[in-house]
Amino acid sequence: MVTIVDTVTSSASPLRPRHPEKANKPDTAILRKPSWIRVKAPGSPVYNETKKLIKEHGLVTVCEEAGCPNIGECWSQKHATMMIMGDTCTRACAFCNVKTGMPNPLDAQEPARVADAVAKLGLRHVVITSVDRDDLADGGAQHFVEVINAIRASAPGTTIEILTPDFLRKAGALEKVIEARPDVFNHNLETVPRRYLKIRPGARYFHSLRLLQRVKEVDPTIFTKSGIMVGLGEEREEVLQVMDDMRSADVDFITIGQYLQPTRKHAAVERFVTPDEFKSYERIARTKGFLQVSSSPLTRSSYHADDDFAELRETRAAKLNQ
Ligand code: SF4
């Protein structure tokens, strides 16, 4: 398990907690990981190449910032998920390991660097996410647009999936991003509505659901995707209700993965959901009409996103030809 209070250094403050809002919280108990949470250790030659390229381009990845368990596997295939608009988030969700605080101003050169990295990695499909930028008037929508446009110019054969914040109280921001026509618009509901106040206190369940629905209303050709973590104290019936809610918002693709606790100051893992339970969620989600489902202990929004996108496209095409 990681350190009790993780710290970061910066020129302004040589040693500050990575999550100042969590520093004084009581430690939570740590559950021992079960045998099915097994990951490939990082360090293959391609992993090292990916790491070098990300560093040389001065980019931030959610793979590193969130301490994703799949990094060894994903980076060995050059599948890095870039996190734009800095490494500091203006929200403070109880599950998330991304640093919190007041972010730096946007870097106008970042879209070009992201696009160059995507071209050099030779990706078939790229996932771009961001921190929450409640400090910006448009929540960072224009920056997303610039990143999408830059990738289209430098890597025209690469399909683009974005995983966005909720743009809460940012009128017109969502529509701006939709106009840039990403191939997949992903926004995670993260957990069931009953757990929002504890787990995602700065967000609103129905706002997030409405955002997904609005993407389809404005441009039905864009695939929509959303995910939740399980093991955070939700009941099975609540997960099934979230599936129904997503389907009524016309969401195409659902991801369900096990929550893993980054530090003792984060929300506790209430339990480890078994692989059979994940399979059962997958079967149910398919019967509810999702075009694509990824449900497994190590499922993350961007895990296997390229293969899943290929399948998603094929499934929709087959349906349209029926
Ligand atoms: S699952 Fe996503 S966040 Fe995790 S390492 Fe893979 S690409 Fe990065």
Q: Which atom number of ligand 1 is nearest to the Cα of residue 61?
A: 8
Q: What is the pTM of this model?
A: 0.94
Which residues, 6+ apart, have CB-to-CB distance to 9 below 8 Å?
15, 16
Residue 322 Cα to ligand 1 middle (Å): 34
Which alpha helices (H) appear in 232-302, and where do they start and end?
Answer: 236-248, 275-287
User: Residue 2: what pLDDT?
Assistant: 37
What is the DSSP secondary structure assignment for residue 28, as one 8-state letter?
Answer: P
40-64 in b/e form (b: 16+ CB < 10 A) is eebeeeebeebbebbeebebbbbbb
Residues with CB under 6 A from ligand 1: 62-63, 68, 70-71, 74, 79, 81, 300, 302-303
Strands (E), the chain: 7-8, 16-17, 82-84, 88-89, 99-100, 125-130, 159-163, 184-186, 223-230, 253-258, 292-295
The alpha-carbon radius of gyration of the chain (Å, integer) is: 19
Q: Which atom number of ligand 1 is nearest to the Cα of residue 70?
A: 5
Integer Cα distance of 186 and 212 in angstroms? 8
Q: Of 54, 81, 128, 255, which is best to mutate to test ligand 1, by the most ligand atoms within 8 angstroms of its C-beta?
A: 81
The backbone torsions φ and ψ at residue 214, rounded to the nearest 5 degrees and listed phi first, read: -65, -35
What is the DSSP secondary structure assignment for residue 194, as one 8-state letter?
Answer: G
> Which residue's alpha carbon is at the smallest distance from atom 1 of ligand 1?
303
**Nearest to residue 232, comparing CAs of 287, 189, 185?**
189
Residue 320 Cα to ligand 1 middle (Å): 31
Integer Cα distance of 118 and 127 in angstroms? 10
Q: Which atom number of ligand 1 is nearest to the Cα of residue 302?
A: 2
Residue 225 Cα to ligand 1 middle (Å): 16
**Segments of the chain scoring below 70 in pLDDT:** 1-15
> Which residue's alpha carbon is at the smallest distance from atom 8 of ligand 1?
63
